[in-house]
Amino acid sequence: MSEKFKAIIIDNQNEKFSRGVKEINLDDLKDGNVLVKIDFSSLNYKDALILNNGGKIVRKFPFVPGIDFSGKVVESQDSKFKKDDNVILTGFRVGEAYFGGFSQFAKVESNFLIKTPSSIDNKKAMMLGTAGFTALQCAFAVKAREELLLGEKVKDVLVTGATGGVGSIAVMILSKMGYDVHAVTGKKDKNDYLKDLGAKNIIERKDFEVESKLLEKGMWDGVVDTVGGSALTKIFAQVKPNGIVAACGNAGGNKINTTVMPFIIRGVKLWGIDSSGASIKRREFLWNEAEKLIDFKKIQSFTKELSFNDLLETFPKLLKGEYFGRAIVNPNK
């Protein structure tokens, strides 16, 4: 095994931010007790923020970004993982506080890893990546309404930011669960794409950018909100009694302006989705559900495989809203 390998390195010396593909040594990997040879990573919005200027997230430099990866165990000091085990990592502040997945190798704590389910492979795992894992969490939060409320069925589910990574996969999963999915988008040219994923109805984003009453006609049993911001005011007002809103994003803003009325009059539940800190048991459950709920052929059709150099050219497009689809990163390409 070569001592040197390639990784994307970001640096910030004397207020001058830089990024590039460099060679580093295995000795540079200081974290964790499991060494993994990375097969794939994926490009997420948070990755793009970090690649741009650190995103006020990364505090130590030089640094290897990349918040998720899949690969094979090379060495392990934990008996739960042995050489050549296929593993998945998403979250746990890897790529933020610990060296991440935009690299040919990573060293992480064993309690950050799960074994790749036998029903999928490492490439499929990163076709989903953090976005897909988050979408699975959101979908099961909505489905939980049926268990929490002892039989009250979910029928109509709203998905905001439906053409994004989380939104697209959430549309697919919720449709597969048998729900009527209403997809919100500002991209009129993507209507056919969303319907192909399983959306029953397409709603224009501007419909949620108008002033809201305290309560409006109840329309949604569940909501997957990937955007955040002011549109949530109107969405909360339209959720049916005992509906669940799974919130996982803030591209539309960090602040919401709402009232207590949806929560105390209709019993609406706001369920925050923290994909980074989910328990290992929950991770194992959700990843094992992926094969039943995901059409990987469809995801493949809107997934691009990038080299490190491709990644450095692509991430600005994601920040500008000009990139469509999923992007997986092959460090060996």
| Max CA distance (Å), the chain | 64
Residues 6+ apart with CB under 8 A from 264: none
Backbone angles phi, psi at 108, to 5 degrees: -140, 165
**What does the pLDDT read at residue 14?**
84
Find out whether the peptide bond into 65 is cis, omega within 30 degrees of 0: no
Q: What is each CA distance from 293 to 119, 162, 191, 268, in whole angstroms? A: 12, 17, 21, 26
**What does the pLDDT read at residue 210?**
85
Query: Tell me, which fold does domain 4-116+302-329 have in CATH?
Result: Quinone Oxidoreductase; Chain A, domain 1 (3.90.180)
Tokens of 11: 């640096």
pLDDT digits (tens, 9 = 90+) for 268-290: 999 999 999 999 999 999 999 99
Q: What is each CA distance from 113 to 30, 41, 85, 109, 295, in whole angstroms? A: 17, 14, 11, 7, 24
For each successive 10 residues of the chain (333 residues), what is the average pLDDT?
88 93 96 97 96 94 98 98 98 97 98 97 98 98 86 91 95 98 93 97 92 93 94 94 94 85 96 94 97 96 97 96 93 95
The helix (H) or strand (E) run that includes residue 326 is strand 326-329
**What does the pLDDT read at residue 211?**
85
**What does the pLDDT read at residue 321?**
85
CA dihedral of residues 252, 255, 256, 259 (deg, nearest 10): 180
Domains 4-116+302-329 and 131-272 fall in the same CATH topology:
no
Backbone angles phi, psi at 18, to 5 degrees: -140, 160
pLDDT digits (tens, 9 = 90+) for 13-44: 888 999 999 999 999 999 999 999 999 999 99
Q: Average pLDDT, whole number, for the chain?
A: 95
Number of neighbouring beta carbons within 10 Å of residue 265: 12
| Length of the chain (residues) | 333
CATH 3.40.50.720, applies to 131-272? yes
**What does the pLDDT read at residue 256?**
86
Residues 6+ apart with CB under 8 A from 96: 46, 50, 57, 58, 67
DSSP state for residue 15 in the 8-state scheme: T
Going from N- to C-terminal start, the domains of the chain cover: 4-116+302-329, 131-272
**What does the pLDDT read at residue 260?**
95
